[in-house]
Amino acid sequence: YQHGIAVIGNFLYVVGGQSNYDTKGKTAVDTVFRFDPRYNKWMQVASLNEKRTFFHLSALKGHLYAVGGRNAAGELATVECYNPRMNEWSYVAKMNEPHYGHAGTVYGGLMYISGGITHDTFQKELMCFDPDTDKWTQKAPMTTVRGLHCMCTVGDKLYVIGGNHFRGTS
């Protein structure tokens, strides 16, 4: 449950998540699997440095980025980068605050993260990560708070769809 999935080259990666469904991250896992469709084979690769669920996973410039989430220790602000050539995860610049239940997408060589939940409060911020400078910047916020939503890029626009804020209908 609540794992991340992304593609680099011809490989599909399934990252983190939880072994049993729970909303607090108590069963978060750090495992990472790579699928090779040429041979119809799964292989376990290097584990995350931290167990994480309710996080965002992006493929960007030949690397995977696991952003925020939560685990048994609480909400996470940390960000990990997977280098498939070295088969290792390393930390990059963390977010200013922990987020889980957020969404993300990539555009123009940058990764964008929107909304989510911080300290049990839904957010409307939009953050941008530049892997070349290893820095986060704030962008114009969304018009409403939301978490557990989806985000995608179409052409030169970022779209945020659905989600919830637990104040009635989303």
The 10 Å Cβ neighbour count of residue 96 is 12
Q: State yes or no: pLDDT of 168 exceeds 90.
A: no
152 alpha carbon, distance to own chain's centre = 13
Residues in the chain: 170
Kindly indicate the confidence band of residue 60, based on its pLDDT and cuts at 50, 70 and 90. Answer: very high
What are the extents of the domains in the chain?
Answer: 4-161
pLDDT tens readout for residues 1-45: 899 999 999 999 999 999 998 888 899 999 999 999 999 999 999
- Condensed to tens digits (0 to 9), the pLDDT of residues 123-136 reads 999 999 999 999 99
Average pLDDT along the chain: 96
| Percent of the chain at pLDDT exceeding 90 | 92
State the average pLDDT over residues 150-154: 98
Q: In the numeric block, which tokens belong to residue 88? A: 């290792």
- Residue located via tokens 């995608």: 152
- The first and second tokens of residue 98, run together, are 């922990």
**E strand map for 37-130:** 41-45, 56-60, 63-71, 74-83, 88-92, 103-107, 110-114, 117-118, 121-122, 126-130
pLDDT at 169: 46
Does residue 118 carry a pLDDT above 60? yes
pLDDT score, position 24: 85
Write the single-letter amino acid at 135. K
Cα–Cα distance measured from residue 102 to residue 115, given in angstroms and rounded to the nearest whole number: 5
CATH number for 4-161: choose from 3.40.47.10, 3.30.300.30, 3.90.1150.10, 2.120.10.80: 2.120.10.80
- Gap between the Cα atoms of 90 and 12, Å rounded: 20
Mean pLDDT of 131-148: 97
pLDDT bucket at 167, cuts 50 / 70 / 90: low
Confidence band for 165, pLDDT divided at 50, 70 and 90: confident
